[in-house]
Structures are given as structure tokens and as C-alpha cells.
């Protein structure tokens, strides 16, 4: 069949992208023949392989553009954009200008070491993520040149005749041409747990996506039957592609840690500028040489900036990533590790995240008894009380079934077919039924397939000299065909009152979000094949539910204890969502449900913030809800595995994708991927995030107090016109050795075990709050003043050489900073037994620093580079006593004066 026109294509000269004007609109409503003609398709022979390249030029390949990664060069440049790095560049430039080559090149070396470490950490994170990405199924079956062929999915074209059967992935949008008991799992796209039964009839052009039963969509999967369909949309012109475009439009915010470190760096730069300005003015007034003034200003700049901060932050976060990986959590971006600790709202998808995404029998109802089923097994008391009816129900469930379940010892069980029928086979197998024997005794001789008109499925079996009919379907439809019902092994006449009683029970269970199927049978001689579903005896009905994950309740309780609100946001039915929420105790108060329709117009914000469930929502509405909470100031996490979750995953501070069931677009968009798809892993990740933030704050207080003590010493030495000072290279040595290793050890602590029992910190707070600054100022003063007093005494009263006083200052400062790590424990905890003294990395760091310092002290020319000389026993005694004085003073201020925490 030929059409007048294949397509209209325009090219934007400003871009390499083609803009394809697809000729078909309202594809669900127009006649099938018109679609075929417009796309130059052929329902009998399919497309000619020779025409595919031409169509590729017209429509483009069937693939959407992956989100572009930053180039390696840009990734490296990002490491150099830090204000700390820029200030070091200025310091190195000033040193080189005054021909202090050693100092200038030493600072340059520090710059490249810091940048290289950050670069390789980010590069490794990217490499790990690329290995994790799952790709779409690469092959599809299409009818071409009058033969069935397998072709790469990217070469699927509009007009192709797609051939599908149970177990296939759908890799393009298509209008159905032929169907046979055809059902599709559309949960990745719409969030609907239950399979969708497809039809061929044209629909109204305004039919919603979830109700377009004559269409199949890219990203969904076939779970029952087979079909042929003509492709009408590929790549960005699929429903998946539209959502991918929506993802690109969702602007992502930088993480709170990045914001806070930027703010902290700005404060440090202003502090440096103020001290430098004061000293420069004072130096000129004192008549000091320009070089001495500049050198001291550089020393102040180097002292003010914790050069180890980027390195320690990167390594601490990377170590957190490794601990996450052990818990089956992959973090794509370093700063996201800390952001987890500040989360106070989690939006979670239902299907596959809170539930198993595996349909199970939930309850059974007979005429005089209704009971729950746990783990697909009927309890002993219920089985005994309903023995005859239950046996008949199990028999019908087994016979009226087209699914295949094969148990394998070492491999994953093979399960193929409709999820409801798979759940029935599993149910039968777990309730003492000899399946092969029953199938042999009841050979099937005919079937009446399920249809949207009859809403029934029936199978006819030979049973000895008679026939047996097994029927399942919509309870209303089955009751219309029943003349009797089964009661305790007896067949009883079915009255209208009895029918109403069954229907009322079914409605009560359906109201809980459970899908209900009725079961009936007929046993007689010579039942006609073409009219088998008549004169039935009703047995009862089964309620099916996608069960919640077994570990979810404890994880949700941990979230409540931690002050984190968990909100279910799903495209599924409100009753189903509410039932799951109540089962897993999503909230410790009454769950408030809001539907997608309620979100239209201008809904009351108080109701929105009170809601714990958003049901029947669209991808755009998910995005809107995340944005709404962010505007309130919340730090939001969004979990999901479907394509429909992707826009909100990107918008949230933390997007969390499911690694097993997650679609490619969801995994690529998210900052965090759960390899085991367990919500419990989110709680573990949040706990680790809080520990990491606590560790970061601890080593920041440590670094800043050490650096501020250096500023105080350099500033006062210069202001008081001492004949000695601390050299810039010595300060750089302190910052990269005695600061960085203990700080790194603090960043690797295991944290407080009760950390998940406190509320999330205020996301608006800076990383270093008022009390932290008080602690830093007190620590810095108590570190610096004893050293200043001792060196002043040594210089003025003991008349020691300026170089000796410089060495006393250097070593006293170095050792006091090492011992200062023990001051970082809480005053409420023992000084000798706490999380600092029990941290093995702290002891390793102290040992390493002492070895490095002694190496630079003993080895030539290392000691000459940083201006060290041999010291006698008396000098070393002064150094050691001076270095321990700050520890004693800090403990007095903590436990006696209680000035610091």
C-alpha cells in the first residue's frame, strides 16, 4: 500500500539535529487503514529492507540522546575552579614574582596534587556508573520482505510491522493490528501494577495514556499472548521520548554541601583579606621591607586557607561511597553522599519500590467464610474449615490457566504469562496439589479465551467419561452465568439474594485496592465446546495484591524516628495505594490520599503538605510536587524505577533509581542507584550520609581551628615585631601533613549509633554554625597563646636564636595540632574512651605524621627546605610540654567552664 506523502522533514541549520514532523496525529482514533497508507506500510509483507536507510534519513534512528557527560578536560578544569585553589595560585604567583622559587613551585605542586586527586575520584565514579548502566533490549522481531526478521532496535522505523509475544520488550510506540489474549505491563510508564488488556478498536482522540488500549509503548513489556502492531513513533516521538524531553527541562540544583562549602570558603577569603590588610598597613607604618610584608601576607593567606579541605572532603566522601557500595548502593556524585544526611522528605514510587512488583493471592472468599492468605499459603485452620470449597478453587485455578512456571534448582525459576495466572500457579503449588497428576487427569480439549466483552476465560477438560469446565473472570460476569453455588461440598441453588451477598463481599475487598476474580465450574456429560460457559456453579473469589516488600515497615519506622516524611507518589489506583500504605504503616497517623485530579487547578497547599499518598498522578505532577516541597525549603529525595519517574528524579536533590528493575532513563538520571532495589538501603544510605556530615563538620572544626591558630601566631608575631615568624613553606607543610591526615582520619569515623534518632538538621543552616565558630575561636586561641607565650619567653628572657625560636614555634604548633584531634570528642564522653580514641585511623594518622616530621627533621636536604635544624634535649622538652598545654586548657574549658561543646 502506498501513500501520497511519506513525511515532511526540516533541518535547523543552527543545529545538527533533525526536526521530524510526524504526519500522524490522534493515532488512537483514526482508522488503521489510514495509518498504514500514511506510513507507506504493508500489513502483509512488511517494509522492504532496501527502504530502511531512506527512512532512517527521514525519521532518524530509534534511540534518544543520552545525557551528555562533561568532557575529561572540563572535569579537570572544574577541580581548578575552587576559590581555595585560586587563592593558592595567587600565593604561588607572588612567591615567584619575588623569586622565592622553592616556595612558589611548592605551592604549585600542592595545587596539582589537590586537583588531580579530585579529578581521579570523579573519573572513577563516572567509570563505575558507566559499567552499571543497563541498555535497552537490542533486538526486535519485525515482518520485512514477507519474512519474520530480528533487527537492531535502533533500526525500527515508522511503518514497520512489529511482532510481539509474551516476554518481549516493546521498543517503539505502535498501533495494534492483530491481538491474541494480549496483555502488557505498563507499570514502568504509567505506574499501573496490573497488566493492561489490549484491544483493536479506535478510541476517542482525548483518551488518556493509561487507557489507550489499542496502543503499545516503548519501555513496556508483553506478559501474555501475542500481537502484531504497526510502528507509529520512534526515538523522541515515543511517550518515553516525550518524558525524556521533560527530564532535560527539569533544572537540577547544586547539593547543599556544595553550597555550604562555597559559603565557608567565601568567609575564609574575607577573613584572609582583613588580616592581610591590617598587617600590610601595620607593616608599612613599622617601616618593614616590602618583600617581608608580602611574604608575611602570603603566610597569612596560606595559613587562613585549609589546603587539605578539598582533598579531605573528596576522600571522606569517597570512603562514604565505598561503604555505600558494600550496602548495594551506588553513588554517582561525591557531594550526593552528604546530601542524603540532610533529607527530610522522600517521595517514593509504589510499584517495585514499596511493593514486590509480584502479584500474590491476598484473600479468599466463599459463601460463608472470608479469610486472608499469607505468603500464598492457606492457614491450617482455614484449610480444614473450607476443605471441599478450597480443593475445588485450587482445581479451577490450575486448569483455567495458560501461564508457565518451571522450577529450577540452580537457576532462576522460569515464569511466563499473565502475572495473575502465575500467582495462581504458585498458589496452587504451595497448597499440597500434585500439579502434573491433575493435569494428566484433566486433559484440556477446548478453551474460550478471555475477551473484554465476556470478561471470562473458560477451559473444557475431559474427566473420565464426563466433562469438566473451569472458569475464572470478573465476578459480575461469572455470577450472571451461574445457577448454583458450592457450599461445603454441596451444590446449592443460587438466589438473587445470594448473588448480592457475593457482590457485596467483592466490593468490600475491591475497596481496599485488591483486584478480585471469581471462580466457577460445571461438571456434566457432553458439554458443547462453543457454549461451555453456561449453567455454572459458583465457588468463590480470590483477591490479588502486589504485596509490600518484607523489609519495608522497619525502614519506614527508621525514617519516622529520624524525622523524615515518606510520601507515596504513584500512577496506580488510590484504593490500591491506600491499602499498601496501611499495610506497611507508611505513616503513624491517618494516611491522606490526593489524586491527580485533585491537583488540577489551585489545590490547597495545606492539604498537599498533609498528604502521604499521591495517586493517579502524571510525570508532570510528580515533578510539580517535588518542586513544591523544595520551595518550602525541604531537601527532597525521589525514588523510582520507571520512565515516568525520571523528571522528578532529576529535579530532586537526590534521585534514587532501582538498579534491577530500573529503566535506562531512570538510572541515568538519578544520583543514586540501589543495586538490590531495597527501600531499606535508602535508610542505610541516609544514616551513612548523616555520619559523613558529622565527620565533615568535625574535621572542618579541626582544620579551621588549626589554621586559625596559625593566623593568630603569624599575625601577632608580625604585629609585635618579633625577630622570627613561621615561614609560608612551614605553614604549607603543617597544613598538608599535620592537618590533613588527622582530618582525614576524623572523616572516616563510624559515627554515633544514635544518629538516626535525631531530626534532620535545618537545611538552611551553614555547614559551620554559631556554636561551631565559638568552638573554633576558643580552640585556635588555646592552641596559639601557649606557643606565643613560650617562644616570647625563649626569645626575650632566654635569648635564644631567632632560628631556634622559629623551630620551637614550628614543632610546638605541629605537635599541638596532632594532639588537638583528641579535643574533638564531646565533653559528655570520657576523654580516654570515645569515638575518637576508638578510631583506628586516628592512631594511624598520628603515627604517620610523627614519622614524616622526624624524617624531615633528620634527612638532608629536606630539613633545609623548610628551615629546620638540630635541637638539643632541653629544646625538645620545651616543645613537648608546650604542645600538650592546649589539650589541658581545652579540657578545662570544656568540663569546668563549659564554654565549648
d(CA 813, CA 788): 10
d(CA 754, CA 240): 43
Would you give the distance in Å from CA 667 to the centre of its chain?
A: 8
What does the DSSP 8-state code read for residue 62?
S
Q: Which residues pair with 215 in a beta bridge?
A: 175
d(CA 750, CA 753): 8
Closest to 578 (Cα-Cα) out of 533, 614, 606, 625: 614
- 349 among known catalytic residues: yes
Determine if the peptide bond prior to 861 is cis (ω within 30°).
Answer: yes
d(CA 688, CA 709): 31
d(CA 52, CA 45): 14
Which entry of 173, 185, 349, 546 is annotated as an active-site residue? Answer: 349
Dihedral, CA of residue 44, residue 47, residue 50 and residue 54, to nearest 10: 160
DSSP string, 460-486: EEEETTEEEEEEEE-HHHHHHTEEEEE
d(CA 743, CA 842): 9
Buried-exposed string 647-676: b where 16+ CB fall within 10 A, e elsewhere: bbbbbbbbbbbbbebbbbbbbbbbbbbbee
d(CA 178, CA 226): 8
33: number of Cβ within 10 Å: 10
Closest to 314 (Cα-Cα) out of 76, 127, 121: 121
737: number of Cβ within 10 Å: 19
What does the DSSP 8-state code read for residue 418?
-
Three-class secondary structure assignment of 229-263:
EEEEECHHHCHHHHHHHHHHHCCCCCCHHHHHHHH
Q: Which positions are annotated as active-site residues?
A: 349
Amino acid at each position: 500500500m502506498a501513500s501520497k506523502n511519506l513525511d515532511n522533514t526540516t533541518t535547523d541549520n543552527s543545529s545538527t539535529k533533525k526536526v521530524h514532523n510526524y504526519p500522524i496525529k490522534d493515532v488512537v482514533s483514526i482508522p488503521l487503514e489510514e495509518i498504514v497508507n500514511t506510513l507507506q506500510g504493508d500489513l502483509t509483507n512488511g517494509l522492504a529492507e532496501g527502504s530502511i536507510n531512506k527512512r532512517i534519513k527521514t525519521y532518524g534512528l530509534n534511540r534518544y540522546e543520552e545525557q551528555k557527560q562533561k568532557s575529561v578536560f572540563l572535569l579537570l578544569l572544574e577541580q581548578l575552579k575552587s576559590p581555595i585553589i585560586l587563592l593558592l595560585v595567587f600565593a604561588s604567583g607572588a612567591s615567584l614574582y619575588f623569586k622565592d622559587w622553592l616556595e612558589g613551585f611548592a605551592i604549585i605542586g600542592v595545587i596539582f596534587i589537590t586537583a588531580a586527586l579530585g579529578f581521579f575520584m570523579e573519573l572513577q565514579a563516572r567509570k563505575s556508573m558507566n559499567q552499571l548502566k543497563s541498555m535497552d533490549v537490542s533486538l526486535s522481531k519485525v515482518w520485512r520482505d514477507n519474512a519474520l526478521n530480528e533487527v537492531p532496535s535502533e533500526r525500527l522505523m515508522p511503518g514497520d510491522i512489529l511482532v510481539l509475544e509474551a516476554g518481549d520488550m516493546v521498543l517503539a510506540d505502535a498501533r495494534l493490528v492483530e491481538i491474541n489474549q494480549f496483555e502488557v505491563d505498563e507499570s514502568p510508564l504509567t505506574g499501573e501494577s496490573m497488566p493492561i488488556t489490549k484491544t483493536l478498536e479506535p478510541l476517542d482522540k482525548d483518551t488518556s495514556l493509561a487507557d489507550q488500549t489499542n496502543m503499545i509503548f516503548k519501555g513496556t513489556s508483553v506478559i501474555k499472548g501475542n500481537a502484531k502492531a504497526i510502528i507509529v513513533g520512534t526515538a523522541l516521538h515515543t511517550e518515553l521520548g516525550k518524558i525524556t524531553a521533560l527530564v532535560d527541562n527539569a533544572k537540577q540544583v547544586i547539593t547543599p554541601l556544595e553550597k555550604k562549602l562555597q559559603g565557608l570558603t567565601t568567609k575564609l577569603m574575607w577573613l584572609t583579606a582583613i588580616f592581610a590588610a591590617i598587617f600590610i598597613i601595620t607593616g608599612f607604618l613599622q617601616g618593614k621591607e616590602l618583600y617581608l610584608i608580602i611574604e608575611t601576607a602570603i603566610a597569612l593567606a596560606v595559613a587562613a586557607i585549609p589546603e587539605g579541605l578539598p582533598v579531605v572532603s573528596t576522600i571522606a566522601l569517597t570512603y562514604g561511597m565505598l561503604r555505600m557500595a558494600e550496602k548495594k548502593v551506588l553513588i554517582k556524585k561525591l557531594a550526593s553522599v552528604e546530601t542524603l544526611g540532610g533529607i527530610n522528605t522522600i517521595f517514593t514510587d509504589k510499584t517495585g519500590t514499596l511493593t514486590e512488583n509480584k502479584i500474590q493471592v491476598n484473600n479468599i472468599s466463599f459463601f460463608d467464610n472470608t479469610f486472608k492468605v499469607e505468603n500464598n499459603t492457606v492457614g491450617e485452620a482455614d484449610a480444614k474449615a473450607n476443605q471441599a470449597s478450597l480443593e475445588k478453587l485450587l482445581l479451577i485455578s490450575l486448569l483455567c490457566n495458560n501461564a508457565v512456571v518451571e522450577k529450577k534448582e540452580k537457576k532462576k525459576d522460569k515464569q511466563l504469562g499473565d502475572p495473575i495466572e502465575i500467582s495462581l500457579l504458585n498458589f496452587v503449588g504451595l497448597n499440597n496439589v500434585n500439579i502434573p497428576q491433575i493435569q494428566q487427569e484433566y486433559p484440556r480439549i477446548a478453551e474460550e479465551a478471555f475477551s473484554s466483552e465476556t470478561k471470562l476465560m473458560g477451559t473444557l477438560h475431559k474427566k473420565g467419561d464426563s466433562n469438566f469446565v473451569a472458569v475464572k473472570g470478573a465476578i459480575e460476569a461469572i455470577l450472571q452465568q451461574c445457577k448454583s453455588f458450592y457450599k461445603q461440598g454441596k451444590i446449592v441453588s443460587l438466589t438473587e439474594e445470594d448473588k448480592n451477598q457475593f457482590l457485596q463481599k467483592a466490593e468490600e475487598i475491591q475497596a481496599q485496592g485488591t483486584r478480585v476474580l471469581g471462580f466457577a465450574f460445571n461438571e456434566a456429560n457432553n458439554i458443547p465446546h462453543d457454549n461451555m460457559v453456561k449453567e455454572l456453579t459458583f465457588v468463590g473469589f480470590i483477591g490479588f495484591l502486589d504485596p509490600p516488600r518484607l523489609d519495608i515497615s522497619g525502614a519506614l519506622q527508621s525514617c519516622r524516628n529520624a524525622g523524615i516524611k515518606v510520601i507515596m507518589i504513584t500512577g496506580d489506583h488510590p484504593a490500591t495505594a491506600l491499602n499498601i500504605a496501611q499495610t506497611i504503616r507508611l505513616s503513624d497517623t491517618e494516611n491522606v490520599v490526593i489524586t491527580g485530579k485533585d491537583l488540577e487547578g489551585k489545590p490547597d497547599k495545606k492539604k498537599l503538605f498533609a498528604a502521604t499518598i499521591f495517586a493517579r498522578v502524571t510525570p508532570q505532577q510528580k515533578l510539580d510536587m517535588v518542586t513544591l516541597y523544595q520551595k518550602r525549603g525541604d531537601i527532597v529525595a525521589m525514588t523510582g524505577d520507571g520512565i515516568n519517574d525520571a523528571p522528578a528524579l532529576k529535579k530532586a536533590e537526590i534521585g534514587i533509581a532501582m538498579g534491577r528493575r530500573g529503566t535506562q532513563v531512570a538510572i541515568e538520571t538519578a544520583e543514586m542507584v540501589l543495586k538490590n532495589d531495597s527501600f531499606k538501603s535508602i535508610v542505610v544510605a541516609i544514616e551513612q550520609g548523616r555520619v559523613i556530615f558529622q565527620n565533615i563538620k568535625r574535621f572542618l572544626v579541626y582544620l579551621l581551628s588549626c589554621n586559625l591558630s596559625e593566623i593568630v601566631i603569624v599575625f601577632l608575631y608580625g604585629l609585635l615585631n618579633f625577630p622570627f615568624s613561621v615561614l609560608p613553606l612551614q605553614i604549607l607543610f603543617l597544613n598538608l601533613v599535620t592537618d590533613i591526615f588527622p582530618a582525614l582520619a576524623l572523616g572516616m569515623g563510624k559515627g554515633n549509633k544514635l544518629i538516626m534518632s535525631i531530626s534532620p538538621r535545618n537545611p538552611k543552616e551553614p555547614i559551620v554554625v554559631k556554636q561551631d565558630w565559638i568552638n573554633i575561636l576558643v580552640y585556635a586561641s588555646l592552641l596559639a597563646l601557649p606557643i606565643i607565650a613560650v617562644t616570647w619567653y625563649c626569645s626575650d628572657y632566654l635569648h635564644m636564636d631567632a632560628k631556634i625560636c622559629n623551630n620551637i614555634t614550628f614543632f610546638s604548633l605541629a605537635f599541638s595540632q596532632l594532639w588537638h584531634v583528641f579535643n574533638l570528642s564531646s565533653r559528655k564522653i570520657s576523654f580516654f574512651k570515645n569515638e575518637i580514641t576508638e578510631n583506628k585511623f586516628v592512631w594511624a594518622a598520628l603515627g604517620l605524621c610523627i614519622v614524616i616530621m622526624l624524617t624531615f627533621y633528620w634527612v638532608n636536604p629536606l630539613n633545609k627546605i623548610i628551615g629546620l635544624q638540630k635541637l638539643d634535649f632541653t629544646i625538645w622538652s620545651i616543645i613537648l610540654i608546650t604542645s600538650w598545654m592546649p589539650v589541658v586548657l581545652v579540657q578545662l574549658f570544656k568540663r569546668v567552664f563549659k564554654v565549648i561543646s
